Chain A
Amino acid sequence: MRRPFLPILPYLERYPFLKIGSKLFKFSKDEVLSNVEKARDFVEKVLEDKVEFDFKPIDFLCSNCGIREECEGYEGCSYNISSAEYHLKLSRAKKAVLNWLRCKVVVSNLDEFLRRRFAVKLARLYRDLILKECDDFILFMADDFGLNHEGFSIHVADYLKYAVRMKSDDWKLVNRFLSKGYVDLSRNEFVRLMEKVIKEILMEKVQINLNVRLKVDFKRKELERLPLKVECFPECMKSILSDLNEGKNVPHTGRFAIASFLINIGYDVENVVDVFRNAPDFDEDKTRYQVEHIAGLRGKGERYVAPSCETMKSWGLCVWSCEVDHPIKFYRRCLSGGDKGKRSSKRKGDSQDYA
């Protein structure tokens, strides 16, 4: 007796966003929109950190299956299980996928900030859950996501796509083992990367309009809303600003640095454009266009991150030794701890490191 997709069903119940779910179950738009309140509650709970998964680890059926020889894959699975039991599993998986689609509609109708927050939080929860699963399933999941991998080694192109935004030096490609196109990862790291993939999947939008009203008003205490205090700017940024004010010709890299820095700490496009007004070659339209790009209002829609201290050094724009690794960090530290950031800083040249 064929039991299509049997090994996957219990997993769809906990990971309803697996691509295979949409292959297996189809729903009409009305079905999806019929009952979104529960989904909205779930989304809200995720945003409030009130969701906890209590799934127990399960065995991946295929790992211990006795009839592997005649196996026709998940689709043609013929594992011996009663019809009632199979249909129970099927209906549970179906319900989970439907609920997931409803969540997706809800999330698609939230603004970018909440969508991202939802995706980040939920993906983080999934990471802990996946870590408890068996290797076979983890690798199945990677296949489902279309990742190019060999065991826990992942193709460098896929690696870069997800690892590029991880802050730690450990994730920089130059510090990894890379051979024949594949980056070696530990099981933990592999799952960490899957978390990023899941985040992307959770962020995906569907084009169904729905008026979503959340009960809770979520405060946005993100770093983009830092108070503006020029005294707290690091010296490199101050120096670029003063050059611009004096009408000196600042190199392209310097212009990018100051624009992205200001955008990152919460200046809006108009304020940033004004900063460039004294530049000798000021062209308002061009400047606005570029600043909008940096702010993520154009192009791929991603806001640029201000260059790190290392990059500033390599561009020859670092003028001080601040003992931070990012101009934004310096700014935040100064805002929160008064002059703390400044006191430990030294004028470049005073320090032996810069001989």
Chain B
Amino acid sequence: MELTRHYLIRRFREYYHKAKIYEPIEFRMREWAFVPLKNFPDFVMVRHVSFSEMEELREFLISNVPAHVYFSSAYYLKPSAEMDEKGWTGADLIFDIDYDHLPTKSLESAKREVFKLLRILEKDFGIDEKEIEVCFSGNRGYHVHVYDERFRELGNMERREIVDYLTLRGFKLKGTQFDRVCKIIHRYVRDGKVNVDEKTGEILRSSLNEIRKGRLDLIPPEVREELIERCLKKLVVHVDPPVTADVKRLIRLPNSLHGKTGFRVVLIDLNDLESFNPYVDAVAFGDESVKVRLLKKVRVNFGGERYILERGRHSLPEYLAVFLMCRGVALYGH
């Protein structure tokens, strides 16, 4: 383990030497937190840190080489003080989409959720895309940061309302989201995608316009319930509620490394989001061969490439070796 730890520290340090380190707005008002690699594989968090210069942050990263780096979504007058004395002045609006919380557990479906979220943030919440940043989290999903000042001072109850808007909690078939429901149902009826007998279908089609305007009472109750259910499944944006509601959340620093995968937390240009492929775009290490010992048989799906690796000695491309070491299933050296 000693060797593995040293190897990871060396490789992460080299990364932070060269990396373009991300500078959040209001840099000095952020709290920072780190999980140093020196305790690897233990997770020990050092928090309540603050910096006044970017250079200080870089020096910190190079000398303390963290497995994980976080900064606060919140802005504080005294970011390094105790929680009660920090002087909270506001926080970015953040969203976490993790594929663990999705009906289909894949990064691709997480990306679809991000698109759904962005659309609502822009159309409904009127947030300019310039105020939005999307990051690959480095592991199982995406983070969306909203820097729009108008949302900064919202408390947790207010943010919870935004989550409810996205997840349709407390939805009573009214408002903009209801309009969307009607639009989808209208489309289903028009395209004959409703499971009813011919006669009912005929009647429904004759009242298409009314349905579009919200007259769902024209649809027989059982069919209506099922249709609404279908629409809701389509419309819900699966964000992780507590992350958005928390006004003092720590969130991963873009361009830092994720210590459980070795992946880079990538800030993604919205135009590139569709084509973003973490197995290409978030790989931080090269492919020169590295000797490792696997502690057990592993199956990994690394960007479409499936590896089934037996327990024991292997020479693997660096990115995969780092990934397996971070995961705790491989040790460095033969």
Contact = CB atoms under 8 A, between A and B. Distances in A.
A64 interface: no
Contact of B170 (A156, A161, A174, A300): A174
B64 to A, nearest CB: 28
Interface residues of B, number: 28
Contact of A161 (B84, B127, B158, B174): B158
Interface in A141-193: 148, 155-157, 160-161, 163-165, 169-170, 172-182
A178 B123 CA distance: 9
B171 A174 contact: yes
Contact of A173 (B126, B153, B164, B179): B164
Nearest to A168: B172
Contacts of A182: 126
B127 A175 contact: no
Interface string B109-147: 000000000000001111100000000000000000000
Contacts of A181: 124-127, 150
Nearest to B157: A164
Interface in A63-109: none
Given A164-B157, A173-B161, A176-B174, A314 B169 contact: yes
A169 B153 CA distance: 24
Contacts of A169: 170, 172
Chain A interface category by residue count: 20 to 34
B154 A174 contact: no
A180 to B, nearest CB: 4
Interface SS of chain A: mixed
Nearest to B162: A173
Contacts of B171: 174-175
A186 to B, nearest CB: 13
Given A161-B154, A298-B84, A300-B155, A178 B172 contact: no
Contact of B169 (A156, A174, A178): A174
Interface in A229-267: none
Interface in A247-289: none
A161 B151 CA distance: 10
A179 B151 contact: no
A175 B175 contact: yes
Contacts of B162: 160, 173
B168 interface: yes
A160 B158 contact: yes
A346 B204 CA distance: 39
A252 to B, nearest CB: 10
Given A155-B150, A298-B84, A176 B125 contact: no
B126 A174 contact: no
A310 interface: yes
Contact of B172 (A161, A175, A298, A314): A175
A170 B174 CA distance: 8
A178 B157 CA distance: 18
Interface string B162-190: 10110011111011111100000000000
B170 A177 contact: no
A176 B175 contact: yes
Contacts of B158: 157, 160-161, 164
A286 to B, nearest CB: 12
Contacts of A170: 172, 174
A157 B165 contact: no
Given A160-B161, A164-B158, A180 B151 contact: no
B154 A178 contact: no
Contacts of B125: 156, 178, 181
Contacts of B164: 172-174
Contacts of A174: 161, 164-165, 168-171, 175, 177
Contacts of A179: 123-124, 126, 176
Contacts of A161: 153-154, 158
Nearest to A302: B155
A271 to B, nearest CB: 23
Nearest to B124: A178
A160 B154 contact: yes
Interface string B90-121: 00000000000000000000000000000000
Contacts of A175: 170-172, 174-175, 177-178
Contacts of A165: 157
Contacts of A299: 84
Contact of A157 (B123, B124, B154): B154
Interface in A285-307: 298-300
* Among A173, A179, A298, A314, residue most surrounded by chain B Cβ atoms (within 10 Å): A173
A174 B235 CA distance: 12
B294 to A, nearest CB: 35
A259 to B, nearest CB: 16
A175 B172 CA distance: 6
Contacts of A156: 125-126
A193 to B, nearest CB: 14
Contacts of A163: 161
Contacts of A310: 169-170
Contacts of B126: 156, 179-182
A201 B165 CA distance: 28
The 3 A-B pairs with the shortest beta carbon distances in the complex, nearest first, are A181-B126, A160-B158, A180-B126
Given A161-B154, A175-B171, A310-B169, 9 more contacts: A160-B162, A173-B161, A173-B162, A174-B171, A175-B170, A175-B174, A175-B175, A181-B126, A310-B170
10 contacts: A156-B126, A163-B161, A164-B157, A173-B164, A174-B161, A174-B171, A178-B165, A178-B176, A179-B123, A300-B155
Interface of A: 148, 155-157, 160-161, 163-165, 169-170, 172-182, 298-300, 310, 314
